[in-house]
C-alpha cells in the first residue's frame, strides 16, 4: 500500500546519510559549492540517472513535472538549471 513516498525516496533510505556526510567532510566537497549543497546535488543527479535523463533541460523538466510529489521524492526544493550547470 502506498505510504505517500515515492520509490526514489524509498531507495534513498538505503543510503546512510551519515556516511555521505562523512565523505563530504573528508574531501571538503561543500568548500566551493555556495548555492547547492553536495547532498542536494547528489539527489538531483541520482534522480537524473535513475530516470534516464539525457540533459540538464530534460532533468529540470522532469523534476518540475513532479509538482506536489517533489517533497515526497526526498528532494527538499527545486533546483534551477543554471545552478546545476554551475556545479557540474
pLDDT at 2: 63
* Cβ-based neighbour number of residue 50 at 10 Å: 11
3-class SS at 79? coil
Query: What are the residues whose beta carbons fall under 8 Å from the beta carbon of 88, sequence distance 6 or more?
Result: 56
Return the domain boundaries, the chain.
7-87
Dump pLDDT digits (tens) for 2-54. Answer: 667 788 888 888 989 999 999 999 988 887 767 788 888 888 889 889 889 88
pLDDT at 78: 73
The pTM assigned to this predicted structure is 0.80
Amino acid at each position: 500500500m502506498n505510504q505517500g513516498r515515492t520509490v526514489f525516496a524509498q531507495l534513498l533510505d538505503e543510503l546512510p546519510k551519515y556516511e555521505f556526510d562523512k565523505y563530504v567532510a573528508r574531501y571538503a566537497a561543500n568548500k566551493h559549492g555556495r548555492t547547492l549543497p553536495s547532498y542536494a546535488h547528489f539527489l538531483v543527479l541520482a534522480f537524473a540517472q535513475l530516470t534516464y535523463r539525457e540533459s540538464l533541460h530534460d532533468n529540470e523538466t522532469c523534476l518540475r513535472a513532479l509538482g506536489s510529489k517533489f517533497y515526497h521524492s526526498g528532494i527538499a526544493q527545486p533546483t534551477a538549471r543554471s545552478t546545476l550547470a554551475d556545479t557540474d
